[in-house]
Amino acid sequence: MLSKISVFFQALSEADNQQANELSLEIACSVLLCEVMLADGQLDDAEKQKLNHIIVSQFQLSKSEVTEIIKHSLVLCENATDFYQFTSKINENYSLEQRIKMLELLWQMAYADGELASIEEHIIRKIADLLHLRHSEYIQTKLNIQSKVSSVK
Backbone angles phi, psi at 23, to 5 degrees: -70, 110
Q: Is the pLDDT of residue 18 over 50?
A: no
Delineate the domains of the chain, giving CATH numbers in brackets.
Answer: 24-152 (1.10.3680.10)
Contacts of 46 (CB under 8 A, 6+ apart): 112, 113, 114
Predicted pLDDT of residue 40: 86
15, pLDDT greater than 50:
no
Query: What's the CA gap between 32 and 56, in Å, rounded?
Result: 15
Could you give the percent of the chain with pLDDT greater than 90? 63
Number of Cβ within 10 Å of residue 130's Cβ equals 18
Q: Looking at the predicted structure, is the pLDDT value of residue 34 above 90?
A: yes
Q: Are 55 and 106 in contact (CB under 8 A)?
A: no
Report how far apart, in Å, the C-alpha atoms of 39 and of each of 5, 68, 78, 80, 141 are: 36, 21, 12, 13, 19
Going by C-alpha positions, the residue among 70, 85, 84, 97 that lies closest to residue 129 is 84
- CA–CA separation, 50 and 69 (whole Å): 14
Strand, helix or coil for residue 23: coil
| Surface-to-core class of residue 55, CB atoms within 10 Å of its CB (0-12 exposed, 13-18 middle, 19+ buried) | buried
- Residues 6+ away with beta carbon under 8 Å from 108: 50, 54, 145
**pTM, whole model, 2 decimals?**
0.82
How many Å apart are CA 153 and CA 136, to the nearest integer?
A: 26
pLDDT 10s digits, 95-139: 999 999 999 999 999 999 888 999 999 999 999 999 999 999 999
